Amino acid sequence: MAQEIERKFLVIGDAWRAQAVRRARMSQGYIASADRASVRVRITGDVAHLNIKVGGLEAVRQEFEYPIPIADAEALLAAAQGPLIEKTRHFVPHEGFEWEVDEFHGANEGLVVAELELDSEHQQFPRPAWIGAEVTHLPRYYNVNLVARPYAVWDAEERGE
């Protein structure tokens, strides 16, 4: 069983862009979702995966990921619930850690969230100057919820304006 320990943060400014070492365009959709689990398919370039997350919308949960053929992924995306999540993931190293900065497109245009995977729930890590408020505890920032309620329909309070 794989365990994912991931923290989410808002991003301040664009300084992180110059530090990105690679980028990947992603399309993903949800085949099924419930309070404590989700099943997602993602295409990144010419690679596709089926992903199952169990444990709800929190920093620590179980994650299972399996490679699948692109043709299968395309068929599953066509059957996905709601609109697809479209984003560019930027990989940004900082003091021995690799941050994943997701820049959303489509109905979630304007949302930029940084994620950091950790080895333990209480692991300490250095925060780059471009990291803002932590949003790990806010369900609206999870991709599975961005399908049902995209950033485009958030009010000023939800956006933190």
Tell me which residues are annotated as active site. 30
Cβ distance 88 to 26 under 8 Å? yes
Distance CA 159, CA 53 (A): 26
Cβ distance 21 to 134 under 8 Å? no
The helix or strand, by DSSP H or E, that contains position 99, with its residue range, turns out to be strand 97-104
Q: What pairs with residue 51 in β-bridges? A: 40, 65
Distance CA 20, CA 64 (A): 27
**First CA to last CA distance, the chain:** 40
